[in-house]
Amino acid sequence: NTFAEGYMSEKILNAFMGGTIPIWYGSKEVFKMFNKNAFIYFDVNSPTDALDRIKDLEKDTKKYQKMLNAPILAGDADETIQNYFSYSDDIGGGFLKKEIRFKLGYGCDPNEESENSCKKNLRQ
């Protein structure tokens, strides 16, 4: 990937969906969408900050678990979803939207017919 102000790739979301703590190098726009306590921001102008944070998480399993279980989205989760994740069902019948929202803890599993597969922000 590349650093460009305002550019966001899918990489951070993929890391969250994989159940990991992302290490993000990229636009600071990330803080508008994702909870700063749920990932590590890598600043090339101050790399020791991220490295120290990684070392600290490695030593302290309680801090690691807290970060791993922190809400993914920044601020009001519903507002963040509305502002940054498309509601358009015009693309692929909305499957990607539904899949992403389900992984973030919202909505119903697009692969299941049952209402039992529905959830509302499991990480809060």
DSSP code for 26: S
- Choosing among 3.40.50.1820, 3.40.50.11660, 1.10.10.10, 3.10.350.10, the CATH entry for 1-84 is 3.40.50.11660
Domain boundaries, the chain: 1-84, 87-120
Phi/psi at 43 (nearest 5 deg)? -105, 115
pLDDT, one tens digit per residue, over 44-60 is: 999 999 999 999 999 99
- Whether the full predicted model's pTM is greater than 0.75, yes or no, is no
Average pLDDT of every residue of the chain? 82
Alpha carbon separation from 114 to 105, 107, 108, 118 (Å, rounded):
16, 12, 8, 8
